[in-house]
Amino acid sequence: MTIHGEPITAKKPKAVAAAGPGSARDDLAYIKAIAEEGRNTPLVGGRNFFVWGALIGTAALAVFLMETGAIPAFNQMILWSGALAIGWVLSFVINSRSSERPGASSLSNRTVNAAWLACGIFVTVYWLSIVAASLLVQEGGYPVRFLFATMFPVAFGLYGLAFFATAVVAHQPWYRWVSVVSWAIACALLLSLAVWPVAYMLVAAIGTYAVVLAPGYVMLRNEPSDIV
């Protein structure tokens, strides 16, 4: 929990009686304080969500517009590499500044941040592996370019898992609905490849804005003014 913007972390007494009602009350008070701290501490990762949602969603929208001829064609490898590089640099800057914010060291924030960091690392490594495979494949060898189409379904599947964990840890059930939407988008992306391939990147862009950028904006709005 916080008082005047400063987090209060429950400290268990260093010395308690080996037995007796006093010891039990101390333990219960300690556990209750820990639970209340996690429940009442706001999430402070909204900036990361907003940045990544804006970058990836806009990159996907740009690809869709290029594929439909609405804007001039541009090297997609440079586009995606630039979006990922900028995203990681901005995340590093944001995290270095947010680590000292009140509530950033709470159990809920540390757990949520770790889950999303793991998702980001995996998605980046997955993309780099596909890029490497496409560059190393020999002429006439097994086609790997179609693997790029698996990027967004895999990413949205992971987003759903991370949001589900966020809902439990942060005691905010509405994140479960974001999980459901994330998984629905992953399925829609796979179906679009068979029904309407041109719409794939449009679905990816709208989905990214909906389940990454929008929740990030909500997180920013819910942060207390002394944190923002």
Q: What is the pLDDT of residues 34-64, one digit of tens each?
A: 555 545 567 877 889 999 999 999 999 999 9
Q: Are residues 132 and 183 both part of a single domain?
A: yes
For the chain, what is the domain count? 2
Q: Are residues 204 and 111 both part of a single domain?
A: yes
211's tokens: 């389940």
Better pLDDT: 43 or 158: 158
Q: Are residues 178 and 145 both part of a single domain?
A: yes
Domain with 32, as residue range(s), is 1-40
Q: Are residues 36 and 48 both part of a single domain?
A: no
Note whether residue 201 is domain-resident: yes
Note whether residue 210 is domain-resident: yes
Residue 155 pLDDT grade (very low, low, confident, very high; cuts 50, 70, 90): very high
What one-character DSSP code corresponds to residue 14? S
Note whether residue 228 is domain-resident: no
Q: Are residues 36 and 51 both part of a single domain?
A: no
Q: Are residues 84 and 126 both part of a single domain?
A: yes
What one-character DSSP code corresponds to residue 141? S
Note whether residue 227 is domain-resident: no
Note whether residue 168 is domain-resident: yes
Mean pLDDT of the chain: 82
Q: Are residues 100 and 182 both part of a single domain?
A: yes
